[in-house]
Structure 1
Amino acid sequence: MGKQPGRLKKRSEFLAVRRGEKRRGRLFLLEVLDRADDAAPRFGLTVTKKVGNAVVRNRVRRRLKEATRVHAGGDMAAGSDYVIVGRREVLGVPFDELRQELSRRIRGAR
């Protein structure tokens, strides 16, 4: 188990992660950037306006944040940044399936 992940807060941090690896999935896109240090991992969530209105976007964001908090945070590698770009499909799957998919993507399984 790694350290508890921190948060990405600045736009520049989010944009930096876009240079890294992209892992596409049905529920979300995961962007990963290796910072090449041993600091705690950091993650950020993005849900675009394409997904829906503010209520829908916040529900997607809350589900992803909780899945990361209870399960996937421990799978994150030290010295890496993760940006999770949520899709509307997040609302249509059982929470356990979302949790497993997020964990699998973070570990790097294809």
Structure 2
Amino acid sequence: MPPEANVTGPNVQIADVPPAASVRLEVISKRADFLRAARAKRAGQPGFLLQARNRGDDAPPRVGFTCSKKIGNAVARNRAKRRLREIARIALSAKAQTGWDYVLVGRPTETVSRPFAQLMADLERAIAKVHT
């Protein structure tokens, strides 16, 4: 389905999803990087928890996603991670700062059931909080 098409669902209505900005996000894959981000700044939101850390270099920003078994079974965890990846693609690609690591941690029931527009607003507030 092309990005300009409207996608609707029980809690989602997306129209004209903006393309990814010029900043390319890399994915965090090493456990040590997740642990370093967990010790840094946090911004709790109703839909998820954002952990962010300044690495102190000029490398591109990186993003990681985690959902524990508290979210639910594998289907619910995968759906939560897909939603987190999409809000990160839209919002972080435009607002992420170079040299930072961002980790989005899913919350039980909220990450899956919260309307997409509210998740986007949550991420924008969380980014502003960690960068102030």
TM-score (norm. length: structure 2): 0.76
Residues 40 and 53 of structure 2 are in contact (CA less than 8 Å); yes or no, is this contact kept in structure 1?
A: yes
User: Which structure shows the bigger proportion of residues in helix conformation?
Assistant: 1
Look up the match of 1:63: 83
Q: Which moved more, 1:89-98 or 1:52-61?
A: 89-98
Determine if the alignment matches structure 1 residue 17 to structure 2 residue 37: yes
Within 5 Å, give how 1:13-92 maps onto structure 2. 13-87=33-107, 88-92=109-113
Distance 1:55 1:18 in 2: 25
Gaps of 5+ in 2: 1-20
Q: Which moved more, 1:92-101 or 1:33-42?
A: 92-101
**Identical pairs, percent:** 40
Distance 1:3 1:97 in 2: 23
Output one character per residue of 1:83-107: Cα deviation in whole Å (capped at 9) or x when no partner. Answer: 1101130222221221121122123
Distance 1:48 1:108 in 2: 24
Task: Spell out structure 1 runs of 4+ moving beyond 3 A.
Answer: none
Q: What is the alpha-carbon root mean square deviation over aligned residues?
A: 1.8
Aligned with 2:120 (options 91, 99, 108): 99
Distance 2:84 2:92 in 1: 10
Residues 2 and 77 of structure 1 are in contact (CA less than 8 Å); yes or no, is this contact kept in structure 2?
A: no
Count of residue correspondences: 110
Look up the match of 1:8: 28
Gaps of 5+ in 1: none
Which has the larger Rg? 2
